[in-house]
Structure 1
Amino acid sequence: MITFYDILGIALAMSIDAFCVCICVGMKYNKPANYMRLGAAFGFFQFIMPVAGAYAGRLLMKYTGNIKYLAAAFLFYVAFHMFREAWKNKECKVYLSDPTVGVALLMLSLATSMDALGAGISLALWDGGIIWASCVIGIVCALMSFLGVFIGKRSRGYVGHYAEYFGAFILAVIGVRFVL
């Protein structure tokens, strides 16, 4: 049984990528419009992707039965990927042109929300409302994006990759709970 705290943990973990990108972007692009565009775009994509993943997960359940272990495997994969990315990327990329507009914003939004697609497959196991869970994920991501831009403006990117380790740990713990 997935609880509200599990959804909140998933939301925080899924938001880590967007948070880290926003720290890097916020080092240079930190006007109120940048906050709003990043928060809205990242939050929207973090809302949509779990819905799509849950739909795919329910289709899988329909044809394969129980997908509990598959859902846990997706979370472990995403956790491993986050840990590996944090290990490889020790510093933020400073963007030369504004990444909060146009195609750059779309690409960043897609890139930071792909793990939410896998989390959505895991959410297919939940009997609760996927729309409600996706709203929580989207809102948390938007708030984390605002916070990331703010921290980027203040810290110049020193905390970015440590957040990736934390997100990977959260997902691994939730994956273990799925199996137990």
Structure 2
Amino acid sequence: MSVYQIGEIVSLVFMAIALGMDAFSVSLGMGMQRLRLKRIAIVGAVIGLFHMIMPFIGILLGQAISEQIGQYALLTGGLLLVGIGAQMVFSAFNHEAKRLAEPVGFGLIFFALSVSLDSFSVGLSLGLSQVKTVIALLLFGAASMMLTWAGMILGRKMRGLLGVYSEILGGSILCGFGLNILFG
């Protein structure tokens, strides 16, 4: 492996963690509903799956767009990451109470879709930058699944102390990667 490939994988690991932070912060609140461990395992697996499906769709669209717009692809990808990261940071300061859905059936699908929408946009920007698709998807799915499990289990133990801070951290990491693409 070259230094460039190692650097790309490390960047993808940090990006996967940043994307999973959104699921982590929402899972903290969901974990306060005192769910059974079996339900927590199912919720984490479904969220991990959605964090693989949504960026895959985004990557496919990003690659299709990349062939048509050429030199503007990198600029667009960087701007998307900065925008997504900024949205995550600003939404952390929105103190309106969010009604949590029950993580069963359509509620679980809605929950997984809502926390993985940002990964669609990240997938779009990654498709524009020609990233290694399989590695990115596996990292996104694994990180979001583990962070969802951690958030739900932690939510059982404590009452929402880290929720806002994890979303700010995740948004800051995405902004940093976007700025690195733009100016690095």
What TM-score do you get using the length of structure 1 for normalisation? 0.91
Specify the SS of the correspondent of 1:99: coil
Contact 2:12 2:136 in 1 (8 A): yes
Secondary structure, aligned partner of 1:6: helix
| CA deviation after TM superposition for structure 1 residue 75, in Å | 0.5
In the alignment, structure 2 segments of 5+ residues that lack a partner are none
Match of 2:34 in 1: 29
Letter in 2 for 1:136: L
Q: Does 1:56 align with 2:61?
A: yes
C-alpha separation between the residues in 1 aligned to 2:129 and 2:138? 15
The count of residues paired between Structure 1 and Structure 2 equals 177
Compute the displacement of 1:150 (Å): 1.1
Give the alignment's Cα RMSD to 1 decimal. 1.8
Deviations 1:51-88 (A, max 9, x none): 11111111111111130010011101111110111011
Query: 1:12 aligned to 2:28?
Result: no
Aligned equivalent of 1:43: 48
Query: 1:30·1:150 contact (CA, 8 Å) conserved in 2?
Result: no
Letter in 2 for 1:102: G
1:83 is matched with which residue: 83, 89, 109?
Answer: 89
Moved over 3 A (4+): 125-128
Q: Report which stretch shifted further, 117-126 or 4-13.
A: 117-126
Residue aligning to 1:149: 152
Do residues 169 (structure 1) and 172 (structure 2) align? Answer: yes
Aligned to 1:137: 140
Q: Within 5 Å, which residues of 2 pair with 1:122-133? A: 122-133=125-136
Q: 98, 112, 118: which one pairs with 2:115? A: 112
Where does the alignment leave 5 or more consecutive residues of structure 1 unmatched? none
- Deviation by residue 1:18-70 (Cα, 9 ceiling, x = unmatched): 11111001011331122112111110000111111111111111111130010
8 Å CA contact 1:24, 1:94 repeated in 2: no
Q: Residues of 2 paired with 1:105 and 1:138: CA distance? A: 16
Q: Residues of 2 paired with 1:44 and 1:89: CA distance?
A: 29
Identity value in percent? 25
Report the Cα offset of residue 128 of structure 1.
4.7
The reply on whether 1:69 has 2:96 as its aligned counterpart is no
TM-score using structure 2 length: 0.89
